[in-house]
Amino acid sequence: MDLGNFASLARFLPELLLSAGVLVLVIVDLIVTDKSRLGDLALVITAGALLLIAFQPDTGNAWLFHRMLVFDGFALFFRALIALAALVAVWMSMGSEEVRTCDQGEYYAILLASTLAMFLMAESANLLMAYLALEFVSLTSYILTGFLRHNRRSLEAALKYLIYGGVASGTMIYGMSWIFGISGSLDFTVINKALTTPETLPVLAVFIALVLILAGMGYKVSSVPFHMWAPDVYTGAPIPVTTFLAIGSKAAGFALLTRFFFPAISSLSANGSWQALKGVDWPQLLLVICVITMTLGNLAALQQTNMKRLLAYSSIAQAGYALMGFVVLSNDGLRAMLFYLFAYYVMDAGAFLVVMIVANCTGREDIDAYRGLAWRGGIVPAVALSIFLFSLTGIPLTVGFIGKFYLFAAVIRGKFYILAIVGVMNSVVSLYYYMRPIKTMFLDTPQGDEGTILAEPWNYGLMGVLAGATIALGLYWAPIIAFANRSLNFFTGPA
């Protein structure tokens, strides 16, 4: 179905709610004096958006707003994931000492606007729309990163982010102009037809265009060589924002990356494998990027002494793992990637949450602040952080293992044996740095200068939910994999 502006609105309710929420927050901020309640309002709006997504009637796939956006299973998965990420980010913001010092109204309004932008990124069916959504995400992210106005690191991070982002998106739109020149359209479905039908293709031009576009999208998922902003931004931003960037923004990046590289420029064959454009060897390029991303992320993480920075490099490595599902060019791989992104959401949000709890109590983010955490009243966050880090390593009984299991299964099935070996060796390397905080918390004895850990019921509640989910989904994950399977449903026009 190709829906017009008004007909589209019925399937656009979550986004409408978020847009209204942004306005309401701004207005309420002007009226009320007790700013501490604004977080609750933002939480209600985010939860409302999530519920709207969850209970959206299945009205069939369609184009919205004259083929600008697409409404399909794949978009639904990412909207749900991003809404969940926003929910965690808002919840964390309400319990964060850093955010408490900021202008509440603006902060939550921008956070919700960013969520809206990520939704749009996951739904784009048109290069122009994709570019606008990506820029929208970037602009809101810059502001959120620099929100600690009196903190030099936060400002430095925002500036770095801005410069990198400017270059990356400029490169991307240049690449898009090449695609437009070659195919004569910005519409994904038309591009697909234009590129897959003709016998002869300007192979080199298409390849260059794809590389240029990859700059913008790779920057969002923080893959090498567009990863360099991540460590600084993750370290400088307030922790809830870091979390949101790590799980939400990355998911949106993967959504757009997948939507462009699969339904837009590849074709699906009957056996569930995808055919790349003839002669345009982007899968090979992405394979190299994938291997370098995970290896570099893991090796760089080995030396980190700041938890946020360690998790930043870890998130680069995790993006590399997720890309394994991408480069095998099969629905198996994509399903594994979706599952992995979900798993990554649960475990990485949890890890950042514990970092925030410790930072709230001690004001510190370095690993030394965790010394003997288990033996000085912080046994609960220590155990929870261990669960999240084991999950990030991929040890069984956690959802992270199941995610890696599906990824490697897809890789082995696709006969990418070297990639599989590189992947598992990276897991072994990553164990070393994921174990360092665990070692510091349990094996080292506290020296008395680390500060005490106080139990905060709201943060502990969320931590319990995430830790419980990490283990529960490691034991029984059938609903999630079924959801990922249903979500491999790209709408590219009436059949």
Partner 1 sequence: MSHALTLITFIPVAGMVVILCLPQAMKDICKWLAVGATALQLAIAVWLYENFDTTTTAVQFAEKHDWIPSYHITYFMGVDGISISMVLLTALICFISVFVSFGINRAEKAYYALLLMLDAGMMGVFVSLDFFLFYIFWEVMLLPMYFLIGVWGGPRREYAAIKFFLYTLFGSVLILLAMLGLYYYGAQTTFDMTTLASNASHYSSNFQRIVWIALFIGFAIKIPAFPFHTWLPDAHVEAPTAISVILAGVLLKMGTYGILRVNFAILPEATHQLAWLFLGVIGTVNIVYGAMCAMAQTDFKKLIAYSSISHMGYVMLGIASFTTAGINGAVLQMFNHGTVTAMLFILVGVIYDRAHHREINGFGGLAQQMPFYAAMTGFAFFAGMALPGMSAFISEVLVLLGAWQTYPLMTVFGAATAVLTAGYLLWTYQRIYLGPFNEKYAGYSDLSLREAFTLVPLAIIVIVLGVYPHAILGLLNSSLVHLNQVVLSTPGPAIAMVH
Closest separation between CB of residue 222 and partner 1, Å? 24
Distances in Å between the Cα of 133 and the Cα atoms of 21, 84, 127, 224 are: 18, 19, 10, 22
Q: Does 442 bind partner 1 (CB under 8 A)?
A: yes
Cβ-based neighbours of 8, under 8 Å, separated by 6 or more: 62, 64, 65, 69
**Which span sits near partner 1 by CB under 8 A: 130-138, 242-250, 355-363, 429-437?**
429-437
Tell whether residue 261 is a contact of partner 1 (CB under 8 A).
Answer: no
String of contacts with partner 1 for each residue 349-388, x by CB under 8 A? --------------------------x-------------
Among 119, 390, 416, 490, binds partner 1 (CB under 8 A): 390
Which tokens in the block code for residue 162?
A: 């801005």
Hey, what long-range contacts does 428-431 have (CB within 8 A, 24 or more apart)? 429/298, 429/299, 429/302, 430/298, 430/301, 430/314, 430/317, 430/392, 430/393, 431/393
Closest C-alpha to 465, from 92, 37, 99, 112: 92
Which stretch, 161-169, 183-191, 316-324, 474-482, contacts partner 1 (CB under 8 A)? Answer: 474-482
- The count of C-alpha atoms lying within 13 angstroms of the C-alpha of 13, restricted to the half-sphere facing its C-beta, is 12
Q: H helices within 95-249, ranges in order?
A: 97-100, 104-123, 127-145, 152-183, 188-196, 203-221, 229-236, 239-244
Q: Which of 23, 51, 163, 428 binds partner 1 (CB under 8 A)?
A: 428
Region of 4-12, 19-27, 130-138, 439-447 interacting with partner 1 (CB under 8 A): 439-447
Integer-rounded Cα Rg, in Å, for the chain is: 22
Smaller CB separation from partner 1, 7 or 379: 379
Q: Tell me the C-alpha distance between 130 and 45, whole Å.
A: 25
Among 54, 269, 303, 432, binds partner 1 (CB under 8 A): 432
Site string for partner 1, 395-414 (x = CB under 8 A): xxx---x---x--xx--xx-
Decide if residue 174 touches partner 1 (CB under 8 A).
Answer: no
Please state the separation of Cα 122 from the chain's center in Å: 11
274 is an interface residue for partner 1 by CB under 8 A: no
The residue among 334, 312, 304, 308 whose CA lies nearest residue 322 is 334
Q: How far apart are CA 27 and CA 17, in angstroms?
A: 15
The single residue among 141, 222, 235, 427 that binds partner 1, judged by CB under 8 A, is: 427
Is residue 477 a contact point for partner 1 (CB under 8 A)?
yes
State the CB neighbour count (10 A cutoff) for residue 478. 8
Residue 439 in contact with partner 1, rule: CB under 8 A: yes
> What φ, ψ does residue 12 adopt, rounded to 5°?
-120, 15
If the CB atoms of residues 8 and 393 are measured against partner 1, the closer one turns out to be 393
Q: Is 478 in the site for partner 1 (CB under 8 A)?
A: yes
Pick from 42, 18, 38, 263: nearest CA to 118 = 18
In angstroms, give the least distance from the CB of 91 to partner 1: 27
Smallest separation (angstroms) from partner 1 to the CB of 436: 9
Q: How far is the CB of 450 from partner 1 (least distance, A)?
A: 18
**CB 433 → partner 1: shortest distance, Å?**
11
Under rule CB under 8 A, residue 455 binds partner 1: no
Which residues make Cβ contacts (< 8 Å) with residue 376, sequence separation at least 6? 446, 450, 452, 453
**Residue 482 beta carbon to partner 1: minimum distance, rounded to whole angstroms:** 7
Interaction site with partner 1 (CB under 8 A): 375, 390, 395-397, 401, 405, 408-409, 412-413, 420-421, 424-425, 427-428, 431-432, 435, 439, 442-443, 476-478, 481-482, 485
